[in-house]
Each structure stands twice: as structure tokens, then as C-alpha cells.
Structure 1
């Protein structure tokens, strides 16, 4: 997740929220096996270790990550595409994968950034989001989900350099194709070791974002987890979609912000410490992930996707 000067404001959170959206009555989302998600994280760690310790834009570890994720999706029956772009004298890549079922004029997108910073392998930031949406995508295929809407996943490049890949993707879409995207859900840092359970606030976001916020809240509530709203502003890859007028939502377990005493009482963990003490550091390895937070967020991703796409 990218650092902004307005960081403190971006991490301000609202009071505890309760779900306002009922659980979907149609097809129930599958339980996402966190062991599978952690296996994907181990692969990202191995890729980083074999390629200079990171998976950053313009570095070999990033392209290796793209190729590995693409291979899994291709084998599952997705229509994948790799989009290249240039930034900072290096070539970057976005990977998209579409499930070829449902109304192509009514698209639900789920995404997160695949790149790390150069300082480390980026396993929480954002291997967790990337691995979770990969496993959700694989479960769409494994369950032969037949949504009425079209589902498209995205893994964005060069987020850590300023949201470059996702912005390029949205800006390159013809206006007719942008108008087909009815919702975008973003997952960036979903397994912080001292986690919070934050849902993107719909305040100030495009019309339709409130329904996504409420659906994500309902997902956590169905698992007995209290949430807080967070105003993420332009801090991650949802920003380009929001600027294009597309409804957005997402979840976040916290970065360098400090967990309060009230949050520690509610969620466990350690008050007075960062949600992720290894944020943008070399210690952001597979040891830097809270398995419970990872599991809960992966299940909420599936819950929200199934409810939105049916």
C-alpha cells in the first residue's frame, strides 16, 4: 500500500459499525481454505527469494509473480490478459482474468496490487490481498459458479510507485468498456500481524458504493467480527475506479497506523503498536501474517463477490 502525505487522515476510522445488508439468499459463497491462501503466499516468498528479495516494479520477481498467477488462472479456465506499461524506465504489467460466464455488459471487478516495494518481498503488502483473490478466483472455477454478472479479477503493477498500473488500466479502457464495470472491490493488506478489521467507507465515493460497504460489513458480521470504517482516500488501487465514477469497496487490516486500546479490546492484539510493524520493510515475509485475519478477509471477499455477482 502506497504512502501518502495525508496518511494520518487516511487512517482515521469511524465508530464500530453494524451490518445493514442481509446475507444473500441465493448461492452461498464457499468457505475459502486459508491453507490454500498461505500456500500462495509461500510461492510469492519463494519468487522473491529467488529474485533479489523482492517483487517490485521493474524487477524480475514481479514478472515471475505475474507469470505464476497467470498459469494458475489459465489452468482453471479463465480468459487472462497481460497488459504492459512503462514507468520509471521499466516495463510494468497488469494481469486480468475474466470468468467467461454472465452478462458481459454488467461486470463486477475484484482486484489488488501484486507488486512489493524494493525493500522486501511484500507478503502482507500485498501478497495477502493478491493470494486471497487468487484463491477466490480458483474457487469460482472449482464450484463452477454461474453468476448473472461477469466477474473479472485484476492484479495491478506499480501500485507502490503511485498507483500506476491500475490508473493505466482504467484510463486505457474505452468509455463504453468503463461503463460496463458496475462495481470494483479492492483488497490491499488483508493479513496484518496486529490486525484491525476495516471496511472502506462509502462517504465521498461514487453512488452505489454504500451497497458494497454494507455488503462487506455484513460479511464480517456473519462471522461475528466487528468492523470500523476507514477513509482510505486515494491510497490504493480503488482510486482510479472511483475517479471514473465506478462504485468501490474494500477491506484493510492496517499498515503503520497504531492500534488503540479500544481496538485491542475489540479485536485482540497489542495496543500502542502498529497494525503492521514490518510495513514496507524487509521483514514483510511469510512470518508477518496473521492467519486469522487472512482467513476472515478471504471469506469476506468470497461472501461479497457471490452476493454482488449473482
Structure 2
């Protein structure tokens, strides 16, 4: 029997009401989102934000030098650390210059060890990725640094990264329910990738009871925050014939079609027919197919303009 909410509506009722509302706005979404593509910059939703340009580095390094030598240094410690983080983020973005990357890595490591919130989050990202500045991948240590950044500073990006680790089970025991909780925290604070992931989890019933109405609302939120794939996802969902979907498909057929999608077959048919259930395969991330799809979902959530470090 389908779950009934206190309002008396079923999950399906709420979803169709939500669909009706957002379908009314579909033409406006398409107009605004397509028009905004040219206006978006990498600074719109990326992290770290405001990475300096090469022209700004010399003056920033001079400012940092004066900051560190100031008699009132202790009173301006956070300001000095913020300058150091901006400089480090520039050097880490210099993918063709390994010396600059190494310099940036050392600066971030120092900041993390001194409790700087952005430094702790970024250091965790570097450790998680590995293959960067001579650093071996260490997801377990990455999770430790993200936890510290979340526990001590409630850092939004660290909350998102920790949620991704819990979602995939990398560096920490898999816990989809806790992952959804952390996605919710970051999403409520305006993190586009977290809003996207929260929407996808609710859409598919991973880590929480399936709630397609709330899922659609979070995907729209991610889209409005500038998440490109969320925009595509919302448009596809709003164009789907859910009456036919709910009435005409058997569970076994859905599962078989999803398995075909996972194996790279019949992709367009599954996207068209079963878009909101494409990741529903029995078992957790110990299932290699599920883990592969969850990792794909993680990459989607980052979006091209949200990538912090590209290997």
C-alpha cells in the first residue's frame, strides 16, 4: 500500500501536483536557464571561489608577507590564512606547473594543520583524489579532515564531500541515510551539488523514503543555483509521461531496463521511459553495478563548473 502523508495525499498524489505546478513554469525555466548559460562563470557555483588570476598573485603574496610580519599578526591570523588559501588555490589550479602545484599543496597542508576551515576541506579533497603533487590517494584520511572541518566549522563544502563519501562508502562505512542528512544540511545552505544529490536520492529512495515531489523541488533548487545537469534533469522529468509510467510498467520490466542502462545498452529508451528509477538496483554499494552508478552520480553532482581538482 502506498504511503499516505498526514495531509491525506499519497506520494504519487504529491508528485503529480508538484509536476503540474512546475510544468506551468517549464517555458520560463527553459527561457531563463538557456539565457543564463552565457552569463555563468566558473565562479558561479565552483569551490574554492574567487581563485586569483596570475596578475593578482604578486600583490597577494606581498600582502601576505606584510600580514605575517605585522606586530598585530595574532589579531589578524584568520585574515592572513585567508590570503594564504587564495594563493594556494591559484597554485593548485596550475595543472601544467608541478612546482606550483607542490607549493600550493604545502600551503594548504599547513593551513589544514592550523585549523583553517577551507584548508581542512581542500586538504581532504587532495588526499581523496591522490595522483596529485605526488600525493597517494587516502580516502580514510580525507574523511577525517572533512569531519573535522564539519565538526569544528560547519563547513559547507566539507559537509558535501563527507556526504559523498558516506554515499559511496569510500573512506568510511557506507551510510546512505546519513549521507542524505548531510546533503540536506549543505543543500539548505545553498550548495548546488548537494541540492542535486539530495534530489536524486529522494527521487530514487536511496537513504530516505522515496519522495518524488521533494526530489523535484530540490532539483529545481539546484538548477536555479546554476547546476547545469540539474537543469537538464528537471526539463526531462517535466516532459515525462508519468501517468503511463505509473500505470503501464511492471517492477521486473523496470529492473531489467535499468540493468541494460547500467551495462550501456538501450540508454535512450531507459532515459525516456524510466528516468527517475535508473539507479534502482537491489543492494547497496557493495554491488559493483550500484557503486559504479553512484560514482557516476557523484561526478554529475560536481558538474563541470564545480570541479575543484581535475586529475
Query: Normalized against structure 1, the TM-score is what?
Result: 0.31
Higher relative contact order (CA closer than 8 Å, sequence separation 6+): 1
Point out the structure with max Rg over C-alpha: 2
Structure (1/2) with the larger strand percentage: 1
